[in-house]
Each structure stands twice: as structure tokens, then as C-alpha cells.
Amino acid sequence: MKKVGLTRSIHLKFVMIYVLLILLAMQIIGVYFVRELEHKLVDNFQTSIKSRVDLLEYSVREEMVKDRAEDDPTKESEIKNLLEDSDEPTSDIYEIRVVDDRSRIVGTSDENNQALVGRPTNEISVKRVLAGGGTYDNIFIDEKTGDRVWVLTSPIMTSEEVIGAIYLVAKIENVYDQMNEINKIFTNGTLIALAITAILGVLLAQTITRPISDMRKQALAMAKGNFSRKVKVYGYDEIGQLAMTFNNLTKRLQEAQATTEGERRKLSSVLSYMTDGVIATDRKGRVILINDPAVEMLNVSRETVLSQPIVALLGLDEEYTFEDLSNEQDSLILDYSTKDKPYILRANFSIIQKETGFVNGLITVLHDITEQEKIDLERREFVANVSHELRTPLTTMRSYLEALAEGAWQDEEIAPQFLNVTQTETERMIRLVNDLLQLSKMDSKDYRFNKDWVDFILFFHRIIDRFEMTKNLNVTFERYLPDEAMFVEIDQDKITQVLDNIISNALKYSPEGGTITFHVKENNGFIEISVSDQGLGIPKENLEKIFERFYRVDKARSRQMGGTGLGLAIAKEMISAHGGGVWATSVDGKGTTITFTLPYDSAQEDDWS
């Protein structure tokens, strides 16, 4: 689990929310307070100025309607005196102008603008007041100073007649300067309040977030398998009750985890030591568990098969669905055999059901039955071959014996022939039984060899000489044997039987005038013995099968020549028992070479010499 950052901490969030709420409340109060204060200050300022304008308007009106004698001061001089008296040095008033009903300036309080007296004014507000009465005021920005100024235009009236106007320009910037000072004071107070609030918020948040933080740490520890920690209970409020409940939950989870871990270890141990493959799926047929034997049987990677549909994993997706496998009562045979290697599995299926009967998954158990099937096939073939080999001579014997019983024994020409055939078939069955007994002895664990050190070259010459003297066909023997002695430890009777069988087969299948070649040579700690003929040869696809029991390349010809089909099988068993190997090479139509090896230690030569 990722570590909680500072910006994601509930502690910080709680303080920020608390501070933001205080800030929002203070801003709302501040905006309302400042706005109302601004209005109040501006109104007070304008009211103060208007009261002075009202007094000035009264005095100016008296001077403007006053009847003057020739020796009296002029109206302009009197108005100037009035304006000078009203323009105090500390006043916020920049300038006061008096305009008569003809828009002519009759007086101004600004000493620098005395030249304007007697000239008409261009102020629009003045003209509006003279035209229609009423009071006009507005706030402008002074282009020279950049300060805000308030312009007030008020009429001078007698009865209901406008006889002039007072044009006043006052500096209102001081009011806004005061507002700025007040805003600064308010801002500083707000910051101080927020700082104090933040500190209090942190302290307050700790009382709430501390138990929550403890529970978070406990949850992280539980996720890592540590159930020993306990959450400290700081009180008996809702959070305290939550902490106690969390501690109780931790205890229950610890007990459940211990039980589950024990069961998991038992299941893991069982699955690990099983020789059969086990695959478990979820309710949708996706693989959720597979043990090592199943991985090896299916030749797959555990990471790739997890979450894969089981029908696809077993190669049944074209014939079966997951529902079909769930309802399958009998086992299925999975044939993964190739041309070179047989491989057969048997799959048994068992559904996982809840108490409600809902199917929660499927368990598949795989058994490797390749050897069993191979043994059953060999047993069936063996029984069939033995039955066939025995049936042929028995059928022949029965036919000839029935003929003899029916009176053929009285015929001096036919009877000897029938008896000769019966004797030949009897000998054939005896050879077959003897070969079977020989194979049975070779398969027995109690079978023993009588080994002795023998000069194999001399031994091989004797066997070849015996066949050369008794052969009937015009076949030439060629020997390529070393001149020096080569001593090997063998059972002479068994190796003699092997060589007799190989040489007999070479003579059987050699054509008239053919050649049989014998070779012996040393090869990496073995002596290699080979016998080659010039017969019809053996097809390439049959070379590996000629050492199997009862196998014949040409069955009709083999039976005609009296073979049982067990000779090379016996030879292979005997050579293997001596620690050697045997194989065949052949070119179709040009002959066959049978080669076998025997262990050979050249260091023994010194002892025998």
C-alpha cells in the first residue's frame, strides 16, 4: 500500500477545512463590514460638505438678489469674500465656483483661477442645474494627481426660480485612504485570527485523527500479516468504540488467518507431494490453481495458464464446454501422442459445490497412463501374436492328423509326408515355447549370467567356422577381424545364442551367391561387432521395430522359413544385460547390417598376455 502523502492526510484536510470555513466566514463579514463602512464614511463626508454648501448658498443668494447702491461693493467682490471665508486651509474642498443664471462665473475660491471670473463656464452639470434645477454630484479621478474627487453642483434659488449655481470640487480620496487603513487593520486581524485558528485546528484535529491514524497503521500491519498490534483507545466516544471494534476485528482475523494458513499448508503439502496433476478452476472455468505435476504433464508455464479457460488448457475447447466437463461423470482420455513419442493422460473431474448446490468451481485430476497403455497394448499384441503363432502349427497338425486318422496312414507315400510335416510343426512350437521361456527368464530379476573372460576374436572365428561348414547356400563369408586377441567378460552360451540368431537371419535372407561380411573393431571402450548381408533389406520405418517381440518385416516369408519373431528380441535383451547395445542399418534392396557392442577394457590385455 502506498504511503499517504502530506497533501492527502486527513489531519491536514481537517485543519484546512476548519481554517477555510473560518476564512470564508471572516471574508463574508469583512466584505459586508467594509462595504457598509465605506458607504457610511462617504455619506458623512458628502453630508458635511453639503451642509457647508447650504450655508454658502444662502449667503450667496442674499448677495445676488441684494439691491446695491453706487458706492456699495460689487457682487463679485462680495461673493469672493464669502468664498474666501468658506475655504478653510484644512478643508477637503479644492475649489468652489459661483455661476449666475447666464452661466457666467461670478466667483471662485481658487486664487489661481481668478481669471475665470466673468467668463462663461463649460461644465455640463452647471448648465443642467441652471436649466432644470436639482442637484448633481459625481466622483471622478483627477488627471493631474490621480486622486478621487467629488464634484457637487447645487442650484441657487429664489422662490422657484434658479438664479445661479454653486460648483464645488472636494477631495474625497482621504475617505478611501481611511478605508485602506481599515482594510489593512482588518486583514492583519484576519491573519492573526487564522493563525490562532490553525493552531487550535491542529490540536483539535489530533484528538480526532490520532486514533484514525493508529487504525490505519494497524490496517497496514494486518495487510502484511502482523496481528500483534492493538489500537490505543483514547476515549469512549464513537471513535473510541470504533477502535475497540477494530481491535476485536483484529483478534478475529488473526484466528481466522491462523486457521486458513494451517489449512493452506496442509493443502499445499498434499498438492506438492501428489504424483497426479491437480487443476482447480473458478465458477467460470478459469484456472486458479495448478500444482507442479500438472505443469510438467501439460508442459506449460504456471504464469501463463492462470485465468486461462480449462477447456483451452486441456485442448478440449472444440469438443467440450465448461458445463459439459462439470456434468462429465466418466474420465476423459487425453491423447497428446506425437509421431515419435506416445503420451496419454486420463482426466477425472469433480465439481465444487456450495451448500446451496451452486457450482463454485471444478477440480481436475490428471493421471499419466502412457506406460500403462503401452503395457496393455504390448500385452494384447503379445497374446495375439502367441495365439497366432500357436494356432498356425496346431491347425496344420490337426489337419494332417485327421487325414491320418481317416486312413491316410495306410498310404505308404502320403503317410510319411504327413508325419514329417507334423514333426516339423511340433519342432516349431517347441522352438516358440523355448523362446518364450527364454524371454520369461530374461524378464525375471533372479536371472543370472555365467560370465568369463574370453578372447572374442577366437570365439567369433569358431562360430563363423561352424556356420561356414554347415551352410547349404552358395554364400561367401568375408571376415574383417583384428589379428590380435580382444578379451571381454561374457556369458559364452548367451552370446553364442545372439550370434547364432543374427548369422542365421543373414543366411536366411541372403540370395544365392551373396556375401555375408563380419566386422569387429574397438570403439570408445566397447568392441563393435557387425554382421552384414546382401538380402532385400529392411524399410527405414521398420528398422527400430525389428527388435520387438513377434515383429516381422515379411510375415509370410518368415513363417515359411520357420522363424518365431523372437530371436532379435532375445538378442537385444541379452546384449543389454551385458551392458552393450544393438541396432540395425539397412539399404532397401541392398542388404542389412546388424551391429551390437560389448564393454571392452584394453588394459586387461596386459594381464592376459
What is the crossing angle of helices 492-509 and 456-470, to 10°? 40
Reply yes or no on whether the pLDDT at 564 is more than 60: no
Same domain, 352 and 393: no
Reply yes or no on whether the pLDDT at 597 is more than 90: yes
Tell me what the mean pLDDT of segment 450-470 comes to.
88
Per-residue pLDDT at 481: 92
Short-list 351, 347, 346, CA closest to 323: 351
Of 57-66, 136-145, 254-263, 434-443, least confident by mean pLDDT is: 434-443
Same domain, 586 and 462: yes
Return d(Cα 382, Cα 565) in angstroms, integer.
11
Q: 3-state DSSP call for residue 315?
A: coil
To 5 degrees, how large is the angle CA 205–CA 206–CA 208?
Answer: 70
Return d(Cα 292, Cα 274) in angstroms, integer.
9
Return d(Cα 74, Cα 58) in angstroms, integer.
18
Reply yes or no on whether the pLDDT at 90 is more than 60: no
Please say whether the beta carbons of 350 and 363 come within 8 A.
yes
What share of the chain has pLDDT > 70, as a percent? Answer: 87
| Final residue belonging to a domain, choices 273, 304, 335 | 273
Per-residue pLDDT at 559: 45
Per-residue pLDDT at 461: 92
Reply yes or no on whether the pLDDT at 70 is more than 70: no
Per-residue pLDDT at 557: 45
Tell me what the mean pLDDT of segment 141-146 comes to.
80
Same domain, 156 and 79: yes
SS3 helix, strand, coil % of the chain, rounded to 5? 55, 20, 25
Tell me what the mean pLDDT of segment 229-233 comes to.
77
Same domain, 44 and 157: yes
Tell me what the mean pLDDT of segment 165-176 comes to.
86
CATH number at residue 396: 1.10.287.130
| pLDDT tens string 404-432 | 787 777 777 778 877 877 777 777 677 66
What share of the chain has pLDDT > 90, as a percent? Answer: 6
511 inside domain? yes
Same domain, 258 and 289: no
194 inside domain? no
Of 221-235, 269-283, 437-451, least confident by mean pLDDT is: 437-451
577 inside domain? yes
Number of domains in the chain: 5
78 inside domain? yes
Segment of 468-477, 493-502, 520-529 carrying the highest mean pLDDT: 520-529
596 inside domain? yes
Grid coordinates 466566514 are at which residue? 25
Short-list 276, 395, 279, 400, CA closest to 345: 276
CATH number at residue 515: 3.30.565.10
Return d(Cα 459, Cα 260) in angstroms, integer.
73
Structural domain boundaries enclosing 262:
227-273
Task: Identify the residue with better confidence: 314 or 473.
Answer: 314
Same domain, 517 and 602: yes
Return d(Cα 394, Cα 403) in angstroms, integer.
14
Per-residue pLDDT at 560: 46
347 inside domain? yes
Per-residue pLDDT at 554: 55
| pLDDT tens string 100-120 | 888 888 888 888 888 888 888
207 inside domain? no
Reply yes or no on whether the pLDDT at 591 is more than 50: yes
Q: 3-state DSSP call for residue 439?
A: helix
Q: Which long-range contacts (CB under 8 A, 24 or more apart) does 23-29 make?
A: 23/190, 23/194, 26/190, 26/193, 26/194, 27/190
Please say whether the beta carbons of 156 and 61 come within 8 A.
yes
Per-residue pLDDT at 598: 93
Same domain, 255 and 380: no
C-alpha cell at 377: 497394448
Return d(Cα 129, Cα 543) in angstroms, integer.
133
Residue 333 sits at φ, ψ, to 5 deg, of: -100, 120
CATH number at residue 314: 3.30.450.20
Same domain, 479 and 433: no
545 inside domain? yes
Per-residue pLDDT at 339: 77
Of 88-97, 155-164, 179-188, least confident by mean pLDDT is: 88-97
Go through the chain and tell me how many residues it has: 609
Helix/strand/coil (H, E, C) string of 172-240? Answer: CHHHHHHHHHHHHHHHHHHHHHHHHHHHHHHHHHHHHHHHHHHHHHHHHHHHCCCCCCCCCCCCCCHHH
| Final residue belonging to a domain, choices 219, 248, 273 | 273
Tell me what the mean pLDDT of segment 286-305 comes to.
87
Task: Dump the DSSP string for 535-553.
Answer: SS---GGGGGGTTSTT--S
Taking phi first (over 0 means left), then psi (-120 to 50 degrees means alpha), and beta for anything else, what does residue 161 get?
A: beta
Task: Identify the residue with better confidence: 455 or 186.
Answer: 455
Q: What is the pTM of this model?
A: 0.40
The chain-wide mean pLDDT, for the chain, equals 80
| Final residue belonging to a domain, choices 443, 469, 498 | 443
Same domain, 71 and 96: yes
Largest CA distance in the chain: 205
What is the crossing angle of helices 10-65 and 75-86, to 10°? 150
Same domain, 496 and 544: yes
Same domain, 485 and 414: no
Of 38-42, 201-205, 350-354, 509-513, least confident by mean pLDDT is: 201-205
Same domain, 516 and 590: yes
